[in-house]
Structure 1
């Protein structure tokens, strides 16, 4: 049985800002990751690579899927190659045709879909960022 692992940090600032960690989206408080948490990106990349190598798959909400996909699809290198090739499961009721390699959309009630996924996989299923998914209402579909 697979094990769900919430990747830390969950990309949320202490004052509750979740969106736009790299500042690309233009939010007023965007860019906080590089400003406050990403000074040593080489070390961060080493940790991220080890986590990706241990994981059997990624589990994401739609927004995090779009965020990571836009940033990692065009890249190469050990971490990018791993993320681009590993299975990705996207919990969403709005995404119909995923455009990132090895991606599968899970629609319906979150707990039901994730429970099925845990039965199908054997090791770690990492939830990177995906703040809303980590705090999802277990009885309702996820957007």
Structure 2
């Protein structure tokens, strides 16, 4: 059975909007696009390449698909660890507005995205990878369809923007699987969902 993995870039205050450039996502008047670029280094490139090597396919939201489709098909080097995977492997796209996809090996997921992903997840394979794609990720979180979270935490506070874990997210506990820090100071935390949170109290008993 394939695992669904999520890789996303977050500020210290949980913002995931437009990390790679000013024009990625200006929704809501977001003025801080490109906030991760100063922290890109060789460690980031190596780790991203290692994870892309494990992909059997990609799950992409509409906005992320359009960003990727405008960029990666122009990189035709078969030895490029990212372009070679993105251009060749299946890409499954969640969208209610697109009716056709031009990028090679791309397929629309249909109206019931969680159900479609649940079926894909049953197939043999290694990883179906989500990159960015916040709305898609949140819809799959609600159904417990993400098997591993790879959260890149950048040392910057933005104060506004879209968050991965928005208000109303399903309460979830996580198990930490790995943690790595890049030379630029980015903390990468790898988590596996561990069911619902368990609650307690430090309050003293009335009899004590």
TM-score by length of 1: 0.81
Structure 2: give runs of 5+ residues left out of the alignment. 144-208
Deviation at 1:48?
Answer: 1.8
- CA distance 1:50–1:12, change in 2 (3 Å): same
CA distance in 2, matches of 1:76, 1:49: 16
Aligned to 1:104: 107
Residue by residue over 1:52-99, the C-alpha shift from the partner in whole angstroms, topping out at 9 and shown as x without a partner, is 221110111111111222221212331212221111111122221112
SS at match of 1:32: coil
Contact kept, 8 Å, 1:23 with 1:31, in 2: the verdict is yes
Runs of 4+ in 1 over 3 A off after TM superposition: none
Equivalent residue pairs, number: 134
> Highest Rg: 1 or 2?
2
Structure 1: give runs of 5+ residues left out of the alignment. none
Counterparts of 1:3-14 in structure 2, within 5 Å, are 3-7=3-7, 10-14=8-12
- CA distance 1:62–1:121, change in 2 (3 Å): farther
Alpha-carbon RMSD across the aligned residues, in angstroms, is: 2.1
Bigger relative CO (Cα 8 Å, ≥ 6 apart): 1
Deviation at 1:16?
Answer: 4.3
SS at match of 1:113: helix
CA distance in 2, matches of 1:47, 1:4: 18
CA distance in 2, matches of 1:58, 1:109: 17
TM-score by length of 2: 0.58
SS at match of 2:85: helix
More strand by share: 2
SS at match of 1:89: strand
More helix by share: 1
Aligned to 1:17: 15
Contact kept, 8 Å, 1:56 with 1:121, in 2: the verdict is no
SS at match of 1:57: strand
